[in-house]
Chains A and B, each alone.
Chain A
Amino acid sequence: MKNIIKILQYIFRSLIVTKNIVFLISIFIFFGCQSSNEITINIWHQMLYENRKALREVCDKYEESHTGININLIYRETEELRSNFQSAALGGSGPELIYGPSDQVGPFAIMGIIKPLDDLFSLSYFDQFLSNAVVKFDKKRWMVGDGVGNHLMLIYNKNMVSSPPKDTDELIQLGKSLTKDLDDDGVIDQFGLVWNFTEPFFYVPWIGGFGDWFIDESGKPHLDTESNENAFAFIKSLRDKHKIIPKECDYETANALFKTERAAMIINGDWSWGDYMGKVDFGIAKLPRISVTGELPTPIVSTKGYSINAHTKGEKLHHTVDLMKYLTSPEVQLHYVRRLNTQPSSLAALDHPEVQSNVLLKQNADIIKNGKPMPVVPELRAIWDALRGEYQSVLAGTKEPHSAAIESQRKAEEQIKTMNLVVQPGSQGKFIKGLLGLIIVGIILVLWKTKEKFLFAFRENKFAYLMILPAFAGIMIVVLFPFVYNLIISLSNFSLRTFKNWDLIGFYHFGTVLSDIRFYSVLGKTIIWTLINVSFHVSLGVFLAVLINRTLPAKKTLRTLLIIPWALPQYIAALTWRGMFNQEYGSINLILNKFFNMSPVQWLSQPIEAFSACIITNIWLGFPFMMVVALGGLQSIPKEMYEASQVDGASRWQQFCKITIPMIKPVMLPAIILGTVWTFNNINVVWLVSNGGEPSDLTHILVSYVYKAAFNLYRYGYAAALSMIIFIILSAFMVSFMRKTKLEAIV
């Protein structure tokens, strides 16, 4: 491995030197300016706006009193923070401090990419905090929180709700009276209650209210319970029977409705207060007691805090420890209390009169009492994932609560098993190692033997080789290395538990993929996705090209307007479309309702509708490319051909079939190949429109499935094997398609 990198390094350097682009590019480089006596400490965090500002303020203060120390703050969205830190740590870099929710401790600790804190801090340091602010895992301490909370509660608009509901019956009653159609158009304009109810985090408190908890002491899932079943049914009844919550409601929608006083109550966390202050006169309360059981729902209480990168060493480590002490100190926490009303984790801060006199925090402390601590085991991810899928099926009406509860337990157990599975390198692993070695030796031998021939060819066509070398080298470095890396990973047991000491095991993952029924269903969906998309792209593109290829007024303007979907950045377009598919407020349903008098379609919560939504978005994005290609083809058809066929008495349709189609075919076919490959591998649209496979992971295509396996479930080996299979499928398709259409000529 090292040697390969060295060789690459060599090629790379000589390439840069020969191309003399060093000078050109170096003008634009901004290396992190690290002069010798200055120390930069990087912190990656996921704090929201106000929190970000407050963090900057305290860091500025620290920099003032510690000359020579720079603090660099980098924001990443929670999921990205996790996956980027993993990549960075694997590459041997990353920030010194990472700030995030406590549930990331489990995976990070197992991967060995954060340091245990026990040796770095004295015991008396840990004793300064609430016990649940010092995150333990596997008998060691890994994270210290600068606040506790992050828990859900009922937040109500004081103008609409005089006193918060004590139990669920009251909630329903109150909700019904507050859910109104203000202008009598048959559409509800104001809701009693809103919240991001489709997410497991926002759901599990109710399981607690019905008696059980979703996870047991040892970190095993506990989902096949009556409580889970009842909670499923309860949420569904709120929506379908009592109709006090919207049919579809993601976090953004809920938040916006509450802020604009179109919802009386919201279930949200303490982090949202900052957003509501000054906009809504709000109060906070416990989640209402479940009337049937008489018990209180149990929100998850967690901490957010700092961990230290395992790569931090020497003097830097010393400064990092010092900075961490500062960032968790009572002084800083009190600053947060003033700025953000955060619940402090430091005992000293909690005793401070300012905290004692803060009404909000006092109420909050009361709410926290009913909470349960956030589990830090990595298995939590698998449980969330299994629960989310089944829960969404219940909400979509495709599963009964009972079977969903049982199924979610089974799935969670299965996922935990695959996640923790470490396949031992047996004889197959040794064989593969030997084989790889042989292949490398073989390649070297072949290269050595053909050296003369190659050198001769090079001398003969020096010009051609020199022209092609830079581009080819670039492509190969950027694609070949990752490809080979993936190939090796796909033969290895690289996963959560073997993050730093993986080994080759052979074709195990290929077997797993190919014997998994889910693979075939996702493959089937991918094929449908590709077929529908490409055929629409092509037919729509050709149709429009034919229309626009005649003499029309303002032809150029029309053509330009039609190209616009191609010009928009994909992720922007995809998110816009997601907004447009919103059931209550999306333009699509509004238009369908207004002009076609259709009832709103649940675009994003029903599997088939959600998949269609992805397809519609992608069709919109993709047809201009085909149209442009088709236009190019149409313009090369001589007019005489149409005139001749007119003389022969051909109809328009016959002309289209007998002249247009065959004449643009040679131009369209390569575009179709490319289009097929691009569509097959287009993760952006599916991931963004369906929010990562929702509902219930039923809208995945192979690439998004790969992404999820790798970055959400840590199954790198499995994901790499799956990518290899995708690669093989596409290559086979391309070769056979080219054979069939006799396209090899273009090579």
Chain B
Amino acid sequence: MRKKIETLGILCLLILFIMAILYPALNIISVSLRSDDAFQTRSLTLWTDESSFKSYFTLFLETKFLTWMKNSFIVSFVVTLTGVVLASTSGYALSRFNFIGKKAVLFSILMTQMFPATMLLLPFFILLAKFELINSYIGLIIIYSSTALPFCVWQMKGYYDTVPPELEESARMDGCTRFSAFTKIILPVSVPALVITALFSFMASWSEYVVASIVLQDPELYTLPLGLKSFQASLATQWGLYAAGAVVVSIPVTILFIFLSRFLVSGLTIGSVKG
């Protein structure tokens, strides 16, 4: 009985908390349903009589939103793919092998997180301009994949550390090469961590604005955040449109999170200590 009351109490507490947590998210949905000029309101209700899906129609019919969405999907997909491939291989090497420079590599990867990213913009641009990668997705993809990598490499390494090395040794004795032991045995075991890595890479590219704004200059090539920002001029923001866009941008990531949340707990092992 006591336990039931306790559970009920905790449940109430959690629900209250979740309501507070979700309010900002719902708030933006509510703005997206209002007209541009009605975003300043004193009402706390999220749905009013004036609410309509007009902004969404405008968004999809009158702007290049669908093109941007396609672009974002392409970029994010390639980034996720390269991110997963690179992080899973290098994380594996860092977890399993002792080689000269391993410590240095691990530390320098961690160090990359210490430098203020904004100051990297100018050199990024100069580098891309030299390689003539301005206005192309290659430059964007290289930068996105690499900026998401440090965390992903550490994350993959942490997960591999929890996988007993006997697994691939066993596979090698069963006739696998080092590489096929990795792909056939270790990768399937590491699905939760791979999912996390994919999720992080995806997020890093899906909602990135600053780098995209210096690399992409053709509106046909814009990714979603760039497109979204173009609704938000300095002295005249189309708020309804902006909010509707923001909602649509957030939906894929949120859905991904919801679907993958069961992996989040088991796969996020940045902190797993060996042994």
A interface residues with partner B (beta carbon < 8 Å): 5, 8-9, 12, 21, 24-25, 28-32, 42, 44, 46, 48-49, 72-80, 84, 87-88, 90-93, 95, 187, 189, 251-253, 255-257, 259-260, 262, 269, 271-272, 275, 279, 453-454, 457, 460-461, 463-465, 467-468, 470-472, 474-475, 477-479, 481-483, 485-486, 544, 547-548, 550-553, 556, 558-573, 575-577, 579-580, 582, 584-585, 587, 590-591, 594, 620, 628-629, 631-633, 635, 666-671, 674, 677-678, 681, 683, 702-703, 706-707, 710, 716, 719-720, 723, 726-727, 730-731, 734, 745-747
Contact = CB atoms under 8 A, between A and B. Distances in A.
Interface in B1-33: 7, 10-11, 13-15, 17-18, 21-25, 27-28, 31
Contact of B24 (A251, A256, A573): A573
A272 B109 CA distance: 49
Contacts of A548: 14
Contacts of B229: 77
Nearest to B35: A260
A92 B130 CA distance: 8
Contact of B96 (A28, A464, A635): A464
Contacts of B21: 561-562, 564-565, 620
A350 to B, nearest CB: 25
Interface in B122-143: 122-131, 134-138, 141-143
B78 A25 contact: yes
27 contacts: A24-B78, A32-B218, A73-B219, A87-B121, A88-B129, A90-B126, A91-B126, A91-B129, A93-B134, A460-B99, A471-B86, A475-B112, A475-B146, A479-B112, A479-B146, A485-B123, A561-B18, A563-B264, A572-B207, A576-B24, A576-B28, A585-B41, A590-B42, A632-B266, A674-B270, A723-B119, A726-B116
By DSSP majority rule, is chain A's interface helix, strand, loop, or mixed?
Answer: helix
Nearest to A31: B136
A745 B18 contact: no
Contacts of A571: 207, 209, 225
Contacts of A21: 82
Nearest to A669: B271
Given A28-B137, A461-B99, A478-B124, A467 B158 contact: no
B37 interface: yes
B38 A256 contact: yes
A669 B270 CA distance: 10
Contacts of B141: 25
A5 B257 contact: no
Nearest to A702: B116
Given A49-B236, A252-B239, A486-B119, A547 B112 contact: no
A710 B119 contact: yes
Nearest to A554: B11
B153 interface: yes
Given A72-B218, A477-B127, A629-B271, 10 more contacts: A21-B82, A30-B218, A44-B217, A90-B122, A470-B86, A479-B115, A544-B14, A564-B25, A629-B268, A745-B274
A93 B229 CA distance: 23
Contacts of A478: 120, 124, 142-143, 146-147
A345 B135 CA distance: 34
Contacts of A727: 111, 114-116
Interface string B53-75: 00000000000000000000011
A55 to B, nearest CB: 13
Contacts of A550: 7, 10
Contacts of A726: 114-116
A76 B239 CA distance: 17
For chain B, which range describes its interface: under 10, 10 to 19, 20 to 34, or 35 or more residues? Answer: 35 or more
Nearest to A255: B236
Contact of B44 (A12, A25, A594, A668): A594
B105 A629 contact: no
B89 interface: yes
Contacts of B236: 48-49, 255, 271-272, 275
B99 A457 contact: yes
Contacts of B170: none
Contacts of A90: 122, 125-126
Contact of B93 (A8, A187, A467, A553): A467
B257 A567 contact: yes
A260 B106 CA distance: 57
Interface of B: 7, 10-11, 13-15, 17-18, 21-25, 27-28, 31, 36-42, 44, 74-75, 78, 82, 86-87, 89-90, 92-94, 96-97, 99-101, 103, 105-107, 109-131, 134-138, 141-143, 145-147, 149-151, 153, 158, 178-179, 206-207, 209, 213-214, 217-221, 225, 228-230, 232-239, 246, 249-250, 253-254, 256-258, 261-262, 264-266, 268-274
B261 A560 contact: yes
Nearest to A582: B40
Contacts of B129: 88, 91-93
Contacts of B131: 9, 12
A358 B111 CA distance: 63
Q: Which of A468, A559, A590 has the most CB of B within 10 A?
A: A468
A386 to B, nearest CB: 21
Given A93-B134, A467-B92, A569 B265 contact: no
Query: 10 closest pairs, A vs B, by CB?
Result: A91-B129, A569-B207, A482-B123, A464-B97, A471-B90, A478-B146, A667-B271, A467-B93, A471-B86, A730-B114
Contact of A547 (B10, B234, B235): B10
A668 B266 CA distance: 14
Contact of A716 (B122, B178, B221): B122
B230 A746 contact: no
Contacts of A629: 268, 270-271
A556 B234 contact: no
A628 B264 contact: yes
A671 B271 contact: yes
Contacts of B14: 544, 547-548, 552, 558
Nearest to A189: B42
B232 A74 contact: no
Contact of B178 (A463, A547, A558, A683): A463
A305 B15 CA distance: 56
A471 B22 contact: no
